[in-house]
């Protein structure tokens, strides 16, 4: 560190002189006032001395400050390096386990947690392929996350809904792990959700419903029957347990998987006659655990669930029902053998049974509030406004699906039966939508024409 330059005064004759040393060089100079006159008094000499030495002192002070700053910064860097060696920031390879074990993460179910694990594996796989040298979570920059967003959108062409699920999870993970990862900012914060385009499953016509139920066999027939006669989602049908089925009271009491975490209230569903008869065929000794053990295992296993969905979709196609929206899905170019189709938009699937269930109830005049109470809703705020029904009301609602047009179709019809069936269908068509009315009317006419041949 440089020494402070002070200097000293001395006199030669009547005049004051200043002696000081800069960089080893000794300097002596006579002191003069601002007018250039020699200084002869001690007070004026002190003022002149300060004026001469001030530039050197300022420079020397700046040097001292800079040296002190450099020394402090070096010490801080050494300390930080020592801390990182002793307690390094969170590595990408360790991030999932840290998130999984964090008390701050949402208390979600195993299905959601399994989905989160899949989102993370997909991101890490892409990251290591594109930015192999990225080791720590804090090394993930906004530029990297923007590149990943573009990859999901343009290369993988995932739906807006799936994109938003990825983004929600990745933002949440970085937010929860910000402290152990030593993140200054969340690298996913500037990525915005994509606008959703609602593409709902359509309901099935009565004729289509007969086809898929008549041709299904074994457990698949029971699974499709559950969807048709209870309106439950596929996950609830696959994982329904005997403990939730009361054959004596003819009631299913089920907390939907979709609302089990946010609104764990069971829905009461009356068991219509056709489904009740099928369930009673199962021997009492087998009425334990899952109703459909194989389908439950396939649905719970995230990797096997895709094959389960594909099996159901194949059954629909076997029945001559196109599952994808027209103009979407696989479209193989005969010359190149490449798929030139647009992203598949599923229009008919298991969820169509749920829409059909609601339509059938509406067709037979079941009040909307009762339908809503039976099928439940994913939004707790909406569910609170639904009518809470008791077991008697649930059984009464289920009776709406016991009519001949829905429950049974005679193998052979006697003369006049088609006309009677047509009249029964038309008489029951109250409070229904016009599209449903037209489809059922066409179906009744088809039966009548067939009986005349």
pLDDT at site 433: 44
* Mean of pLDDT values over 263-273: 85
Highest mean pLDDT range out of 103-117, 197-211, 241-255? 241-255
For residue 230, being part of any structural domain is answered with: yes
Both 388 and 421 in one domain: the answer is: no
Both 331 and 384 in one domain: the answer is: yes
Both 54 and 122 in one domain: the answer is: no
Both 114 and 137 in one domain: the answer is: yes
Both 255 and 370 in one domain: the answer is: yes
| Segments forming the whole domain that contains residue 107 | 92-181
pLDDT tens-digit map of 403-419? 554 544 444 445 454 45
For residue 189, being part of any structural domain is answered with: no
pLDDT at site 324: 78
The CATH number of the domain holding residue 298 is: 1.10.443.10
Both 76 and 97 in one domain: the answer is: no
The residue from 39, 59, 86 where one domain ends is: 86
Both 140 and 160 in one domain: the answer is: yes
The residue from 67, 86, 105 where one domain ends is: 86
Both 235 and 380 in one domain: the answer is: yes
For residue 272, being part of any structural domain is answered with: yes
pTM: 0.51
The residue from 140, 161, 181 where one domain ends is: 181
pLDDT at site 381: 41
pLDDT at site 391: 75
Both 81 and 99 in one domain: the answer is: no
Both 69 and 173 in one domain: the answer is: no
pLDDT tens-digit map of 52-78? 887 776 666 676 677 667 767 776 776
For residue 239, being part of any structural domain is answered with: yes
Both 332 and 416 in one domain: the answer is: no
pLDDT at site 264: 78
For residue 368, being part of any structural domain is answered with: yes
For residue 200, being part of any structural domain is answered with: no
For residue 191, being part of any structural domain is answered with: no
Split into its structural domains, the chain has a count of: 4
For residue 195, being part of any structural domain is answered with: no
Both 220 and 104 in one domain: the answer is: no
pLDDT tens-digit map of 336-379? 666 555 566 678 889 888 888 888 887 777 777 777 777 765 44
pLDDT tens-digit map of 218-227? 999 999 999 9
Neighbours of 331 (CB within 10 A): 12
């Amino acid at each position: 560190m440089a020494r402070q330059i002070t200097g000293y005064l001395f006199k030669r004759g009547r005049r004051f002189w200043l002696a000081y040393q800069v960089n080893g060089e000794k300097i002596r100079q006579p002191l003069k006032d601002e007018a250039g006159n020699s200084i002869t008094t001690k007070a004026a000499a002190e003022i002149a001395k300060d004026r001469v030495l001030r530039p050197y002192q300022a420079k020397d002070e700046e040097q001292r400050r800079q040296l002190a700053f450099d020394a402090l910064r070096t010490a801080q860097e050494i300390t930080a390096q020592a801390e990182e060696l002793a307690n390094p920031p969170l590595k990408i390879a360790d991030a999932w386990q840290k998130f999984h074990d964090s008390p701050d993460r949402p208390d979600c179910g195993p299905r959601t947690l399994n989905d989160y694990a899949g989102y993370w594996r997909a991101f890490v796989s892409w990251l290591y392929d594109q930015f192999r040298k990225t080791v720590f979570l804090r090394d993930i920059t906004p530029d990297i996350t923007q590149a990943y967003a573009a990859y999901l959108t343009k290369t993988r062409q995932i739906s807006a809904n799936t994109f938003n699920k990825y983004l929600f999870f990745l933002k949440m993970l970085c937010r929860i792990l910000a402290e152990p990862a030593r993140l200054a900012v969340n690298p996913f914060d500037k990525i915005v959700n994509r606008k959703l385009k609602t593409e709902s499953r359509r309901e099935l016509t009565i004729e289509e419903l007969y086809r898929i139920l008549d041709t299904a066999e074994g457990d698949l027939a029971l699974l499709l029957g559950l969807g048709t006669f209870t309106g439950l989602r596929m996950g609830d049908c696959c994982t329904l347990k005997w403990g939730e089925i009361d054959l004596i009271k003819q009631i299913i009491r089920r907390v939907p998987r979709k609302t089990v975490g946010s609104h764990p209230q069971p829905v009461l569903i009356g068991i219509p006659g056709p489904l009740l008869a099928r369930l009673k065929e199962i021997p009492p000794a087998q009425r334990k655990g899952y109703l459909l053990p194989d389908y439950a295992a396939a649905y719970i296993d995230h990797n096997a669930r895709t094959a389960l969905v594909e099996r159901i979709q194949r059954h629909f196609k076997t029945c001559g029902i196109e599952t994808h929206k027209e103009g979407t899905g696989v479209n193989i170019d005969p010359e190149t053998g490449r798929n030139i189709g647009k992203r598949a938009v599923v229009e008919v699937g298991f969820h169509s049974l749920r829409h059909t269930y609601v339509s059938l109830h509406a067709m037979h005049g079941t009040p909307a509030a009762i339908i809503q109470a039976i099928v439940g809703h994913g939004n707790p705020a909406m569910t609170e406004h639904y009518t809470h029904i008791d077991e008697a009301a649930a059984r009464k609602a289920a009776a709406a699906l016991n009519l001949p047009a829905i429950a049974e179709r005679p193998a052979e019809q006697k003369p006049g039966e088609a006309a009677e069936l047509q009249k029964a269908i038309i008489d029951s068509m109250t409070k229904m939508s016009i599209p449903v009315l037209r489809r059922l009317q066409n179906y009744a006419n088809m039966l009548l024409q067939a009986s005349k041949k």
